[in-house]
Amino acid sequence: MTVLSIETFKLEFFPQFPKGSRILGIDVGRKRIGLALSDPCFMIASPFKVIDRKTFGDVSGQILKIIEAEDVAGLVVGLPLEMRGDEGRSSQSVRHFVYNFLKLKDLSVVFWDERYSTVAVTRTLLEADMSRERRSQVVDKMAASFILQGFLDALKGSFTL
């Protein structure tokens, strides 16, 4: 189990990623889990899928299949910090989910501040005049993409990929 800071990820783990691998962005919610994938060049995050949060076994099984099928070498998981930057119950729940998942699959994981991700995505979808029903279908994977893109942008800013 490897939970990393972005600095450790950049310096130690990223250079060892297999060529063509990808990063999976995860937005863990109470009802649904949004997923996004990076491209193999680690430049662009794309919304991928929404998983209804039923049992841990069901969710983790689906994520494991995606990791295998999409050559995922690392995870970026949104950490829902409170507005002051403190961790609350939601953050503890996400950490618990990730630590349990890492018992099943050893991957490099970076927690990424997800404050404002859902708000920003919802605002964008409202501006696009998307219906409430359609927004509810895509907001989680769009939020995962927003989180992952923020990480990729920070990664790009540190060195040439």
pTM listed for this prediction? 0.82
Q: How high is the pLDDT of residue 161?
A: 45
Q: How high is the pLDDT of residue 74?
A: 92
Domain positions in the chain are 2-158
Q: How high is the pLDDT of residue 160?
A: 46
d(CA 152, CA 40): 12
Distances (CA, A) of 135 to 25, 29, 51, 123, 141: 19, 15, 15, 10, 10
Residue 108 is classified by DSSP as E
Q: How high is the pLDDT of residue 1?
A: 41
The superfamily CATH assigns to domain 2-158 is YqgF/RNase H-like domain (3.30.420.140)
71 Ramachandran zone, left/alpha/beta (phi>0; psi -120 to 50):
left
Q: How high is the pLDDT of residue 60?
A: 96
Q: How high is the pLDDT of residue 16?
A: 73
Regions of the chain with pLDDT less than 70 = 1-6, 13-14, 85, 115-139, 158-161
Do 32 and 53 meet the contact criterion of CB atoms below 8 Å apart?
A: yes
Q: How high is the pLDDT of residue 127?
A: 59
